[in-house]
Amino acid sequence: MSRMSREDQPVAEVVDLGPLASSLGFLFRMGQIEVFDMFYDTVGRLGLKPGEFSVLWAVHLNPGVRQGAVAETLRIKPAHMTKLIRSFESQGLIARHIPAEDRRGIELRLTDLGEAFVNDNAQAFFSYARQEANRLTPEEAAQLIALLQKFTRLGGTP
Amino acid sequence: MSRMSREDQPVAEVVDLGPLASSLGFLFRMGQIEVFDMFYDTVGRLGLKPGEFSVLWAVHLNPGVRQGAVAETLRIKPAHMTKLIRSFESQGLIARHIPAEDRRGIELRLTDLGEAFVNDNAQAFFSYARQEANRLTPEEAAQLIALLQKFTRLGGTP
DNA sequence: AGAAATTAGTTTACAAGGAAACAGTATTCT
DNA sequence: AGAATACTGTTTCCTTGTAAACTAATTTCT
């Protein structure tokens, strides 16, 4: 019989990580993987990927936004953004519009279909967030979010 | 003149993110990107990638560990782990050894070259971690690390 | 002992994301 | 006006990481 952790994972061997286990970068990575797993167990089954949904969400909240602005805010690289937007366009979720004043930029809007999709899924998308923090007390979760916002400079109106 | 933030980035347009900016998954992603940028500005120039170094580090601290155990701990998928280890082997940094008792597993050890590499770079690798947290007070940084460890279950001897 | 199941790692085939070079549009500067 | 510069998005190629099917070794179950 191999050792089992109480919950799920077989723990074959304990691997000591030393100071790595206190390194911010490593912990962010682990946290993200953890959240991603939870996300998949709950919401992700049917075509709702975090990165993609966040783009739709940003366009939903900022109709007419230029695609570069979304990319910069979500820190998606332009090359990747082009692919995402083109894909959304071909799925009929986003409409691209080149304004006459400045034909370089591209204004983005959700189509009716896109709006419907976001409205249908926003609830589920954001509710997994509560689930995911159940290893922390509500106070700890709030504190963690506040610290992350400060670190990433995404604080509410600083 | 387009609007500039005081520091570096041109802020063409403010994109409202609503509750997304308070979502753990999103914040982890942003945090990781942020750390990665800092890492690159300081250490990453010469062939020191976070993921790869963390594997070498884990083997360094746990000589003879099986490759699957490292993969599980660092949450690297087996397929990817195979590639990483093979690459390290071909670079002469890691030696693989198949023990006679169980010829399925593979024990990993750093070669002398691998040990030298880790010893040469560990200092730099872990010191960027202090740098990266300079948006937070030392207390906040410690608190953030503690919360992340609790969330990811990597807490020190729980 | 021999079949079935489990474990560990590998291979293949692909998706996600990024860097660098590029193309079209607008602005600036003589 | 025309040349040089800056801005915005796209294309091409490459790296990183994953899923699923596979091979080999070991354990379990009759």
Model pLDDT for residues A50-100, shown as the tens digit of each residue: 999 999 999 999 999 999 999 999 999 999 999 999 999 999 999 999 999
The alpha carbon of residue A82 and the mean position of all alpha carbons in its chain are separated, in whole angstroms, by 18
- Residues A25-30 have a mean pLDDT of 95
In the complex, which nucleotide's C1' lies nearest to the CA atom of residue A10? C7
DSSP β-bridge partners for residue A108: A65, A96
Q: Percentage helix, strand, coil, to 5, in chain B?
A: 60, 10, 35
In CATH, A46-129 is 3.40.50.2300: no
Q: How many residues would you count in chain B?
A: 158
Percent of chain A topping pLDDT 90: 66
Whole-number Å distance between alpha carbons of B158 and B152:
12
pLDDT in tens, chain B (158 residues): 333 333 344 455 799 999 999 999 999 999 999 998 888 877 776 678 999 999 999 999 999 999 999 999 999 999 999 999 999 999 999 999 999 999 899 999 999 999 999 999 998 888 866 666 678 888 999 999 999 999 998 876 44
Tell me the residue type at B122: A
Residues 6 or more apart in contact with residue B43 via CB below 8 angstroms: B121, B124, B125, B128
Q: CA nearest B55: which of B90, B94, B91, B28?
A: B94
A15 within 8 A of B62, measured Cβ to Cβ: yes
Model pLDDT, residue B130: 62
Model pLDDT, residue B40: 83
Model pLDDT, residue A23: 92
Q: Which of residues 11-70 of A touch B (CB under 8 A)?
A: 11-13, 15-36, 39, 50-51, 54, 57-58, 61-62, 65-66, 68-70
Phi, psi of B157 (to 5 degrees): 45, 75
Phi, psi of A121 (to 5 degrees): -110, -10
Model pLDDT, residue B2: 34
Contact B15 A147 (CB under 8 A): no
Whole-number Å distance between alpha carbons of B144 and A127:
23
ipTM for this prediction: 0.89
Model pLDDT, residue A13: 78
Model pLDDT, residue A48: 81
How far off is chain A from B90, nearest CA to CA, in Å?
24
Model pLDDT, residue A98: 94
Cβ contact B78 with chain C strand, < 7 A: yes
How far off is chain B from A107, nearest CA to CA, in Å?
12
Contact A129 B58 (CB under 8 A): no
Model pLDDT, residue A10: 47
Model pLDDT, residue A12: 56
Model pLDDT, residue B155: 74
The CATH class given to the B47-152 domain equals: mainly alpha
Q: Residue A44 above 80 pLDDT?
A: no
Contact A20 B50 (CB under 8 A): no
Model pLDDT, residue A7: 36
B55 within 8 A of B70, measured Cβ to Cβ: yes
SS3 category, A32: helix
Measured CA B82 to C1' C6 distance, in angstroms: 20
Alpha-carbon distances, residue A12 vs A8, A50, B70, B79 (angstroms) = 12, 31, 10, 18
Whole-number Å distance between alpha carbons of A18 and B109:
17
Model pLDDT, residue A134: 76
Burial class (CB in 10 A: 0-12, 13-18, 19+), B27: buried
Buried b (16+ CB within 10 A) or exposed e, B65-80: bbbebbbbbbebeeee
Model pLDDT, residue B127: 80
Domain boundaries, chain B: 47-152
Q: Give the neighbor-by-neighbor strand order of the sheet with A94-97.
A: A65-66, A107-110, A94-97
